[in-house]
Amino acid sequence: MEYKMFKQEPAVINIGVKPFAEGIKDQGNKAIHLAWKPPVDAKLCRMISTIDPSLKEKIDKSNAEAIETLNKAEGHWVGLEKAIKAIPGFKENMIMHSGPPIDWDHMIGVQKRGVCYGAIHAGLAKTVEEADAMVRAGEIELASCNDHYAIGAAAGIVTHNMVVNVVEDVTHGNKAYCIPFEGRNGLGAWAMWNPEIERNLLEIEDFFAPIVDHVLKKNGGINVRNILAKGMLMGDESHTRQAACGNMLVSEIVPMLLSDNEIPVKDMKRVVEMFVGNERWFHPLGMSCSLASMRAIKGKPYCTIVTSIAQNGVETGIKVADSGEQWFKTAAPRFVGTLFSTQWTLDDAVPYMGDSTATESYGMGAFSAAAAPTVLRLRGGGWREAKAQSEEMASICAGTNNNFPIPLLDFKGPGLGIDIMKVVETGITPICHGGIVNKTGGQIGAGAARYGTEHYVKAAYAFLEKYGVK
């Protein structure tokens, strides 16, 4: 006679390390995994637990208002202009870079080379050596793209004579800027420079940009947020994958070009060929839409939502709504992903570099992984991992981006508004998608990086101390 100790089949409750639960399941047994982590900072968690109810109410109200504001933001592509004309505070001797501000001696090698090549392109120097000396002498001024409401993808090099996409949140009147797609391994993003890249830059600046700017202004721009929403339904997460959004951009801009009698046919043909050649033309617009939208909550009192995430290959920095333009920094993380060729290893790659994580701040990219399971294949995952990632990221957000319904999430939007308090309380840190940059320049792969907690802990301490929590 078979003896049963329990009336029902027992199950193992696994706490912490997930593979233990998976091992039990592999043996045909039932296991329930509890995703628990120890507190990030015990003192900080005690401080959070002692927040006065009236302050807690103000924080909750502010965050809820911020989410409502962000859901109303509507980014439109309204122009393509010279950086010195478009970006407030830009100077002829200024070169912008990605990530938080960093001094020359600590800047990573590939970004230094990008600055020097940028100086040559801008006519500020004739050689790399001359550019290096000019930076050291203070004759060339370095600045963070993010501090000027610009997106610096990868190396993030922007010079005064480059052109930038102008995206405006038409709801709140805020603008953000990003250089257009420059080719596979261009100067601005990937810190590569040669005669072919120089010719391409000049073609964009002198030929392409004036025509596109003309048709955009004549037709009232293009609604970027709408394209992003449609792209989410068609397999994009709009950071690593923009195939659908890129095609929709072409369908919007080409009729504008074809209907404009002021543009010679041969010029129109050249512009169309540039657009249809690569869907990456849309990527700078998605990033700029994100940053322009997040500007609407910058400086909002009592708001604990992250407004910017940016990295320069050395440090990652975040900004928080309540703290305005103050940076909270930690070491830049490294990628897990797929390399384009066996000639490279992850030892050839620099730590995460670039401001494209503006997309994650707005609920796209890694937060919308469920919309683009194909992107998870870069790390050996599939739709289950994609869905789980989106759900995990939503757990540290203040709300949901209702503009981007995702089928795999039962048409719920991705998490919106990374809450520094939820990060430090849960121990769950943001994941961001992105391209992998070679130490010598160029993109050699793509994948994802998970951040540490140090900069979130710093931001939370600063917030609590500001409001007298001890």
Task: Enumerate residues 6+ apart whose C-beta is below 8 A from 243.
Answer: 235, 236, 279
CB atoms within 10 A of CB 411: 10
Let me know whether 110 and 50 are in one domain: no
Residue 287's H or E segment, with its range, is: helix 283-294
Walk across the sheet containing 163-169 and list its strands: 150-151, 174-178, 163-169, 75-82, 222-223
The count of residues in the chain is: 470
Of 68-72, 139-143, 184-188, give the lowest mean pLDDT range.
Answer: 184-188
Q: What is the pLDDT of residue 361?
A: 96
Q: Beta strands of 52-204 (E only): which ranges?
A: 75-82, 94-97, 141-144, 150-151, 163-169, 174-178
Q: Is residue 223 part of a domain?
A: yes
Based on the fold, state whether residues 199 and 343 are members of the same structural domain. Answer: no
Residue 2 has pLDDT above 60, yes or no: no
Looking at 239, 260, 290, which one is the last position of a domain?
Answer: 290
- Note down the domain range covering 113: 74-290
What CATH number should be reported for the domain holding residue 148?
3.90.1710.10
Instruction: Find the mean pLDDT for residues 95-104.
Output: 98
Q: Which residues contact 180 (CB under 8 A, 6 or more apart)?
A: 80, 163, 164, 165, 204, 208, 209, 281, 284
- 49 and 29 within one domain: no
| CA dihedral (127, 202, 79, 165) positive or negative | negative
Residue 368 placed within a domain? yes
The CATH number of the domain holding residue 304 is 3.90.1700.10
Q: Are 243 and 128 in a shared domain?
A: yes
190 lies in some domain: yes
Distance, in Å, from the CA atom of 466 to the CA atom of 143, rounded to the nearest integer, reads 28
Enumerate residues 6+ apart whose C-beta is below 8 A from 260: 214, 215, 218, 268
Q: How far apart are alpha carbons 286 and 299 in whole angstroms?
A: 23
pLDDT given at position 39:
66
pLDDT band at 254 (very low <50, low <70, confident <90, very high): very high
Q: Is the pLDDT of residue 35 over 70?
A: no
Rounded Cα distance, 367 and 360, in Å: 6
pLDDT tens per residue, range 379-432: 889 999 999 999 999 999 999 999 999 999 999 999 999 999 999 999 999 999
Instruction: Count the neighbouring beta carbons within 10 Å of the beta carbon of residue 75.
Output: 30
Q: Which residue has the tokens 């230094």?
A: 112
**Residue 42: is its pLDDT beyond 60?**
yes
Asked if residue 16 is part of any domain, the answer here is yes
Residue 69 placed within a domain:
no
pLDDT band of 37, cuts 50, 70, 90:
low
Tokens 């333009």 locate to: 325
Same domain flag for 201 and 319: no
End-to-end CA distance of the chain: 64
Look at the chain and report how many structural domains it folds into: 3
Kindly report, residue by residue over 144-188, the tens digit of the pLDDT: 999 999 999 999 999 999 999 999 999 999 999 999 998 878 999
Whether residues 147 and 133 fall in one domain: yes
Same domain, 377 and 420: yes
Torsion sign (Cα): 450, 452, 453, 454: negative
Give pLDDT tens digits for 49-59.
999 999 999 99
Is residue 147 in a domain? yes
Q: Find out whether 166 and 80 touch, Cβ atoms under 8 Å.
A: yes
In the numeric block, which tokens belong to residue 90? 């830009």
pLDDT at 64: 98
pLDDT single digits (tens) 328-351: 999 999 999 999 999 999 899 999
Residues 176 and 121 placed together within one structural domain of the fold: yes
CA–CA separation, 58 and 263 (whole Å): 55
The pLDDT score that the predictor gives to residue 31 is 72
Residue 372: strand, helix, or coil? coil
85 and 58, same structural domain? Answer: no
Q: Do 284 and 308 fall within a single domain?
A: no
Instruction: Evaluate whether residue 107 is within a structural domain.
Output: yes
Question: Domain for residue 121, yes or no?
Answer: yes
Query: Are 406 and 307 within one domain?
Result: yes
Confidence of residue 15 (pLDDT cuts 50, 70, 90): low
Domain boundary among 244, 264, 290: 290
Query: Is the domain of 126 the same as that of 268?
Result: yes
Q: Percent of the chain beyond pLDDT 70?
A: 94
Checking if the pLDDT of 24 tops 90, the result is: no
